[in-house]
Structure 1
Amino acid sequence: MDRKIFYAESGKALRHIDEILGDLEHEQLDVNLAGDVLTLAFEDGGKFVINAHSAAEQIWMAAGTTAWHFDFVAARGQWIAHKTDDELMTTVSRVVGDKLGETIEL
């Protein structure tokens, strides 16, 4: 993948997640985007980390004891974890929603 495309697409994805989750202003969730690392800190001390890993040209996500490596699939315009076929936005919505006990849509 062209580096410019990677940075553009990964940045767009991280900013979208930051914007939507940040706008929730949920008392149990603190959202912080610093460069290419998005940290979701929960009231119970748990943290989920989503970051653009430029060397691998992937978005990596760690949530609890589970981790995903998402590749950008240009034909779909989505970030997909090839091992599980999970899509980034759907996965973030599901794991954050499960953690907060409510439905989240990105």
Structure 2
Amino acid sequence: MMDEASYNQLVSAAFKRIMAAADALDPDDLEAESTGDMVTLTTPAREKCIVNTQRAVRQIWVAGRSQGIHFSYDAASGSWLDDKGKGLELFRFVADVVRDISGQELVYPG
């Protein structure tokens, strides 16, 4: 398992990337809020995509589309991948949830 400092650095980078993509959208279409260990993306209809840390197991969990997916960092690919081997990647999954709940496209900064 990765050390806490590395985990914190990776989570911080992931949250900043998600927030940057969300902040590029009109806040009337998607409101983004970051509170330390959680990013909440909310539509005008109050539907949510919640991204939060799970420090004990060094994962990021995402709730949206009536499901919760756990992502672990894969050092070999440099990606956050789902822990069930379904081939889900964190940033793509969050973008898919946002599109489903808001009709908006998240575009991540390069």
TM-score, normalised to structure 2, is 0.88
Where 2:41 maps in the other structure, the secondary structure is strand
Corresponding residue pairs, total: 106
Q: Give, in angstroms, the shift of residue 70 of structure 1.
A: 0.2
Q: Residue 90 in 1 paired to residue 54 in 2?
A: no
- Partner Cα distance (2:106, 2:32) in 1: 14
What's the CA shift string for 1:12-70, capped at 9, x where partnerless?
10111011111212412110011010011111111111011111100000003111000
Letter of the 2:91 counterpart: M
- Partner Cα distance (2:58, 2:16) in 1: 17
In percent, how many aligned pairs have the same letter?
A: 29
* Kept after mapping to 1: 8 A contact 2:99/2:105: yes
Where 2:49 maps in the other structure, the secondary structure is strand
Where 2:56 maps in the other structure, the secondary structure is coil
TM-score, normalised to structure 1, is 0.91
User: Tell me, which stretches of 5 or more residues in structure 2 are unaligned?
Assistant: none
* Kept after mapping to 2: 8 A contact 1:46/1:64: no
- Partner Cα distance (1:26, 1:50) in 2: 18
- Partner Cα distance (2:38, 2:17) in 1: 13
Letter of the 2:7 counterpart: F
Which of the pair is proportionally richer in strand?
A: 1
* Aligned CA distance change for structure 1 residues 102 and 45 (closer, same or farther; 3 Å): closer
- Partner Cα distance (1:71, 1:39) in 2: 19
User: Tell me, which stretches of 5 or more residues in structure 1 are unaligned?
Assistant: none
Letter of the 1:48 counterpart: C
Where 1:17 maps in the other structure, the secondary structure is helix
- Cα RMSD (Å) of the superposition? 1.3
Moved more, 43-52 or 21-30: 21-30
